[in-house]
Structure 1
């Protein structure tokens, strides 16, 4: 039995976000320098976007099972290997952040406390927000409460009509995706540090163990070996990786004969807890409380490079096209790309006013890539890529520690008591 359960996700390239809209005056050819991330012409006579896939927009957003193709944040790169062209240089003169000055028109960025309590007397004249979001490109569909502490994981196993949420309140809850009703509660006896799904499998990280459930057969397994809390997990090369509190990355492989996950490797090198993992370009990347990122070969499981440019905890990692993105409590998002030698270097740094907790990516209603960044000021920023032009914000009463992508333009954010369901607004046809 393969770990993927016959439901291996395939992540295709989403296509770059253009700094300018295409028009008939443009040469219908993708700019070579833009693809290399260093075009200095503005305006450029060539396209700063990928040409549409021959099978149409639907092919760029669906994997055949109705679920959207996500950024390769948990199962490999969506595009070419993480490598520059022969003319690589590190002068940061590229399209990253080019249009970052474009801001969403907004009023005071503070949710009205009286509106939250249901008794604001100012109504539409109130200078504070009577909404949990800013921006017109997405809408709030539902807010489902139930957890007593912050939600740390959201997962949608393949082929299921249920969504699962894990929390520091030591429970996992199952929700009916059609009715929004809670279908059941599993008490785990330990805080949920992370939760992911791969095919029919649901993996939950708690102190000193990883719980695994096959949601189709109801098989339940306990994977021992972790020391302390399990903060992050990812699947790659038929291995399940888990980052733990003692700085070790453990790996398991599914054995079809024993119908169990068996220990495969233990990766050591970080001096403090491993809190973020991502797989891409035949590498495993790990972020740690020791402020570093390590790149590991998926074939040999040897450490290839250690990155030390962050000055605080590396909370989340994301692979998009040929780039690696990392965010940290040092209030920065760094964009990495490989030189000809294969080593990663920072090509752009985006600064925020607050520490960053989580990165997630998905295409919007126009199939353009959007980066979602949760911050420790109880908000999520949404940006177009690669321009970092702001599309909107999401607010909550407490920190938003979990973001997950769903089918049909849906996405989910988990905060202190439950989670919210959002949907991208339909694209307005151009005249």
Structure 2
């Protein structure tokens, strides 16, 4: 037995370094998750320091996931509603989505976390600290660099296609432009209000602020202002030469692009949500919206009519993601729901993944091997990374405060922005 003094808390911590005894429970041949993460300090360790061969599950051995856009009618080897059991959430660890949390070198719920003093930037132990000095756990991805400049929470990130500039928006009322080669902020643009959202539809950059939308042509430098919203603009989406804006009063405003005048002209607005619309996404022939009223609505892009209202969430629906034939939604009710169209073209829940904390944002991408990965930002200041469709956890990202904005980029890049105003650039790798 070894007794170590922890000067930071003023208490002595006792660490049992002995191996298993006859009074200790049988570990069942489990692999040490701390060894997987590369920092086991138990000598000897009661768990295995080697991988167990994965049991072959005939139902999963040839499982694959073909993604197609919602409502396109494309075939898929994923979930369906034709009497077949959903494959979502059923990896090699079984049907319980939480069982996958020991996969990929991360611990169980509430497991490994970095040193809190390292996170705060004032750990006095340095390399001698017993706790990890790392912003992430997991394999296949790594931090490239932090980008510091914003003074308040980062609310939006945009990376125009083919551009060497990264745009970020914040509640500090600025949009910052970052040089992707040097990582330096090249310009900070005052907006006159807190940025609620931002999207890029080449060549246009749209920024939502209170009572207005700012528009830039990134090629010509032309600027314009779209008045009309009431309160903060929380969500933006574009499709079919139309711009959609979700606002604080629950409306979805629509502008049409006039090629003759090279301008956006007010068209109409959609009414249905009782409270603020906070996420918009286009999938196939539909626009999907979610709101603080706990609902999701599907709108036909041709008729602009609401064709379905989804009320399965029990708290604010924070984010939507269309990934091929599936619609994914997350909520402060601590769930991520996967929706798929049935034979009547109505969305139904095919799988519900449960977290221990509220889920505030979703982002999806493929790793370097082409495997689909879902990023879920939680209100415990973490981002969980899950393999799809199994929902086996493969890593965690930590932040000083909640990660409100996530964005993907080319060549395996992705970005996170937290409540302190810090951006981080990440990359997938083969190592």
Shorter-chain TM range is 0.7 to 0.9
CA root-mean-square deviation: 2.5
Q: For each residue in 1:1-46, what CA deviation from the matched residue of structure 2 results, as whole angstroms up to 9, or x when unmatched? A: xxxxxxxxxxxxxxxxxxxxxxxxxxxxxxxxxxxxxxxx951387
SS in 1 for 2:105: coil
- Show structure 1 runs of 4+ deviating over 4 A: 76-87
Is the aligned partner of 1:88 residue 2:81? yes
Task: Return the offset for 1:88.
Answer: 2.6
Contact 1:83 1:338 in 2 (8 A): no
Q: Tell me if structure 2 keeps the 8 A contact 1:247–1:268.
A: yes
The whole-number CA distance in structure 1 between the counterparts of 2:212 and 2:381 is 29
Larger mean CA deviation between 276-285 and 98-107 belongs to 98-107
Q: Is 2:112 aligned against 1:119?
A: no
CA distance 1:90–1:186, change in 2 (3 Å): farther
Structure 1 stretches lacking a partner, 5+ long: 1-40, 52-70
Cα deviation digits, residues 291-343 of structure 1 (max 9, x gap): 00000000000000100000111111111221111000110000111111111
Please report how far the alpha carbon of residue 83 of structure 1 lies from its aligned counterpart in structure 2 after TM superposition. Answer: 9.7
2:310 matched residue in structure 1? 307
- Return the alpha-carbon distance in structure 2 between the equivalents of residues 50 and 308 of structure 1: 27
> Matches of 2:70 and 2:310 in 1, distance apart?
19
**Structure 1 range deviating more: 155-164 or 97-106:** 97-106
Does structure 1 residue 419 correspond to structure 2 residue 411? no
Scaled by the length of structure 2, the TM-score of the pair is 0.79
Distance 1:306 1:79, change over 3 A: closer
**1:267 paired residue number:** 270
2:351 aligned residue? 348
- TM-score under structure 1 length normalisation: 0.79
- Counterpart residue number, 2:156: 153
- 2:369 matched to 1:366? yes
The reply to whether residue 243 of structure 1 matches residue 246 of structure 2 is yes
Match for residue 321 of structure 1 among 314, 321, 324 = 324
Shift of 1:109: 2.6
Change (3 A) 1:244 1:120: same
Match of 1:7 in 2: none
Work out whether residues 172 and 185 of structure 1, in 8 Å CA contact, stay in contact via their aligned partners in 2.
yes
Does residue 98 in structure 1 map to residue 90 in structure 2?
A: yes
Q: What are the superposed Cα offsets for residues 119-175 of structure 1, whole Å, 9 maximum, x if unpaired?
A: 34273661x331010112100000011101000000012332110000001000000
Stretch of structure 1 that moved more, 280-289 or 250-259:
250-259
The one of 198, 202, 207 aligned to 1:199: 202
Q: Which residue number corresponds to residue 290 of structure 1? A: 293
SS in 2 for 1:47: coil
8 Å CA contact 1:383–1:391 kept in 2: the answer is yes
Give the total of aligned pairs. 363
Tell me which structure has the larger Cα radius of gyration: 2
Deviation, 1:77, is: 4.8
Where in structure 2 are there 5+ consecutive unaligned residues? 1-55, 92-96
**Larger RCO (alpha carbons 8 Å, 6+ apart):** 1
